[in-house]
Chains A and B, each alone.
Chain A
C-alpha cells in the first residue's frame, strides 16, 4: 500500500507533466467557479458538458481537470448563496442561514473568505484521512445499505426541523409540507402518478432548482422592496468590496471547522446522503456547541464555516466506494467513472490492485487541487464581492432577473417559472408568519431518497420489518434508537434558548 502511495507521488510530480497538470487543475477550478456562480447551472451539468474534454487528455491530466471543475463548481455555488441568498443546490442551503445576513452587514467578503478557507480545510483534511484509511472506510461503506440510509435520513430530518428557527412544532409542520411536495409526481418505486391531477408537467415531480430559488431568494427580494426607497439607495452599501477576514476571526472559527470536518467525513461514508445532510449536521453541531448560539442566523462567521467545512469534508470518503468497489457514491462520481473508463481504468477492486499508484496519484491530485484553489479563490473573491456593492435599487431587480434566468436555463421549461413564482409567494407568506422554510426544502430534497430506501427495506424484510431491522441490521436499529433521544435534547435546548433570549433568538 505504501509503495503504491510513493508510486503515485512519483507519477503526479513527474517533471515532464507536472506543469501541465497544475495548469489544467487551475483551469478546471476557474471554469468551475464561474459556472457554479451562475444560478441555474448545476455541478452535474457542468461536469457532463466538460467530460468529453477529458477523453482527449492523458488520464493524469483529464481526471485532475474534472476534479478541478468539481471543486470549483461546488465553491462557486456558495457564492450566490452567500451574496443574494440563492442556493443552487441543497448543499448550499445551510450556507444561506448566515451568509446573506453577513452580506447585509457589509461583511460579504469576510463570508466568502470564511467559506473558502473552511471548504479547503474540510476537504483537504478529509482527503488525507481517506488516503490513510481507505481500506476501513471501504468496509464501512459496504455495510451501509438501504435500511441504514433510511435511518440516517430520518434522523437528519428530525435534527433539521429541531434546529430551524422558532417553535419545534412549526418546524415539523414545514417538514411535513416538504415531504408532501416531494410526493407530487410519480412515486420513486412503482412510478405511479400521485397528486399530479393529470398535469403532464408535474408527472416528473416539482423541479428542485426553481423551488430552492423561489423559496430562499424571492422572499429576500420582496423584503428588500418593502423597505423605504430612501433606505434602499443609502450610500451605506456602496463601500468597495468590504473588509478582509482577520486572522483573529479565522482562528475563532477553527474549532468549528474541525468539528464540521469530522462530521462531514463520517457522513461521507454513508453513500447517498452526502453534502446536504453533512452541511446541516455541521451547522446544528456548531450552534449547540457555541456559547452564543443566539447569534447564529443573524450573521455569524462560524455558521458559514460550519456548513461549508462539513459539506466539503464529504468529498474524500465519497470517492472511496468508487475507487475500491467500483461503485460511485453520488451523481458526480458517476461522471468520474466515465472519465476513468474512457482511459481504460475500470473502477473496482481490480483497479486498486493493478493500478494502485495511479489511484493514489489521483487522490493526491485532489489535495493539490485544494491547495491551488486557496490561491485562485482568494484572488477571485474581491471580484465577486464587488457584485453586491452596486446600489440596492439596481441589485434587487438584477437578482430578480437572475432568479428567473437561473430557473429558465435549468431545463428551459415555462412551467419552471410558475414553480419559481409559486414558491416565492409561499416563502414570503411563511416568512411573514414566522415559519422557517428550511425544513420544508429539506423534506422535499431528502423525501424521495427516504421513501425509496424505506421501500427497499420493506422489500428486503419481506414484510417482517421489526425482526429484520433488529436482527440483521443492528447499525440501522442503533441510529433509529438514537433519534428520539437526540430530538429530546435538541428540543430542550431550543426551549431554554427561547426562555433566555426571547422568541426571535432561537434560530
Chain B
C-alpha cells in the first residue's frame, strides 16, 4: 500500500511532465519532439523569446519543440552539447551572434561554430540604446565621447558582464569612437543588475533594450540607438553618426548541427518562416516588446563571415591598445 502510494506520486509526476510535451506521431520528420538547447539561463530575453515561439511552432512542425536550458561558462556548456549532438535535426541550438562569431576570437573553444552549426533562421534582433540619467551633463553621444577623451578614466559604463550581450557591442562602438581604452567598464551580472547599478549612480551610462528603457519613463535620456531607424524620437542611430550599422544588434538565431539532412533543414526553415504570419505569434511578440524582424537561414548564413571579420578587427584593435 505504501509503496503503491509512492509509485502513484511518481506516476503523477510523470503525467504532469508528459503532458507538457505534445506527442503527435507521424511517419515523416519530426517523429518525436525536438530538443532546443539554450546556452543561457532562465528569465532573460532569450528565454522569453524561446517560450513564445516554441509555444506556437508545434502547429507548423507537427511536433513539439522543447526548450532545454544549459547555461554556464559564458554559453560554452550548452553550445558544446549541441555541437556534440547527432545532426539529425532533433537537437537544435538557440544562440546569438556574440556566442556564434565573437567568442572564438577571445578564447579557445571546444567547438568551431562555423564548422559545427548551420543557421535555421534568425528569429529577430534585440536593439540596444545608450542611456544616461535625466540629470546627466551629457546631452548627446558626442558630448560623452568628448568627455571621455578629455579625461580618460573618469567616465564609467555599466554592462551586463564580460563578453556578454552589452559588453561586446559597447566595445565595438567605443573602438570605432576611439575611446575603448578611456572608459571604465563596470561589469554586472546581467542586464537588470547593470541597470540597477546605473540608476544607483555607480556608472555614468549604460546600454539597454528598448523594453527596459521605456519602463523608466523620464528618469533616463536616450543618446543613441541601434537599427536602421531610431526607436526613439529625435535620437540618432549608430548609422546616423557614421558607425557600423550592425552595432548594438543582438541577433537571436536558431542553429542546427551541420550535417543535418537537407530535407529536414528545409522543413525547419519553412516552419520558422511560417510562424511569422501566425496571429498568436505576432501578438505575443508585440506583447513582450520585440520586433519580428525575421531573416531566413540562407540570408543569415551570408552575414556570419562578415560579423566574424568585424569582431576580429575589434579584438585586434583592443589588444594593440
Contacts and interface: CB of A to CB of B under 8 A. Distances in A.
Interface residues of B, number: 61
Contacts of A34: 9, 12-13, 16
Contact of A459 (B43, B70, B186): B186
Interface in A316-339: 321, 325-328, 331-332, 334-335, 337-338
Contact of B199 (A142, A203, A331, A332): A142
Interface in B239-285: 284
B200 A142 contact: yes
A74 to B, nearest CB: 16
Contacts of A299: none
A412 B81 CA distance: 11
A188 B163 CA distance: 12
A338 B20 CA distance: 20
A44 B43 contact: yes
B305 interface: no
B153 A349 contact: no
A186 B211 contact: no
Interface string A176-204: 00000000011011110000000010011
Contact of A186 (B9, B73, B156, B219): B73
Nearest to A336: B43
Given A143-B200, A338-B51, A346-B214, A452 B186 contact: no
B123 to A, nearest CB: 16
B216 interface: yes
B51 A204 contact: no
A205 B72 contact: yes
A210 B73 CA distance: 18
Nearest to B212: A326
Contacts of B47: 48, 338
A334 B68 CA distance: 18
A191 B13 CA distance: 38
B234 interface: no
Interface stretch (B26-34, B124-132, B189-197, B221-229): B189-197
B287 interface: yes
Given A204-B77, A326-B216, A341-B288, A45 B42 contact: yes
B196 A321 contact: yes
A145 interface: yes
A350 to B, nearest CB: 4
B43 to A, nearest CB: 3
B110 A200 contact: yes
A334 B44 contact: yes
B16 A328 contact: no
B162 A189 contact: yes
A23 interface: no
Contacts of A349: 215-217, 219
A145 B43 contact: no
A346 B77 contact: no
Nearest to B8: A383
A76 to B, nearest CB: 11
Contact of A342 (B72, B184, B187, B288): B288
A389 interface: yes
Interface string A7-49: 0000000000000000000000001001100100000110111
Interface in B199-237: 199-200, 202, 211-212, 214-217, 219
A394 B12 CA distance: 21
B196 A337 contact: no
Contacts of A186: 73-74
A392 to B, nearest CB: 13
B215 A350 contact: yes
A479 interface: no
Contacts of A351: 215
Nearest to A147: B202
B173 interface: no
Contact of A350 (B48, B54, B217, B287): B217
Contacts of B321: none
Nearest to A31: B16
B110 A462 contact: no
Contacts of B189: 188, 452
Interface string B62-101: 0000011111111011001000000000000000000000
Interface in A387-427: 387, 389-390, 394, 398, 411-412
Contacts of B12: 34
A460 interface: yes
Contacts of A327: 192-193, 195-196, 199
Nearest to B44: A334
A455 interface: yes
A142 B48 CA distance: 26
Contact of A344 (B3, B68, B195, B287): B287
Contacts of B9: 34, 387
Top 7 A-B pairs ranked by shortest CB distance? A348-B215, A204-B72, A334-B43, A204-B73, A346-B215, A48-B42, A326-B215
Given A55-B51, A452-B189, 4 more contacts: A38-B13, A143-B200, A145-B196, A351-B215
7 contacts: A44-B41, A49-B20, A203-B72, A204-B72, A335-B42, A341-B289, A346-B289
Interface of B: 2-3, 5-6, 9, 12-13, 16, 20, 41-44, 47-48, 51-52, 54-55, 67-74, 76-77, 80, 107, 110, 153, 156, 162-163, 184-189, 192-193, 195-197, 199-200, 202, 211-212, 214-217, 219, 284, 287-289
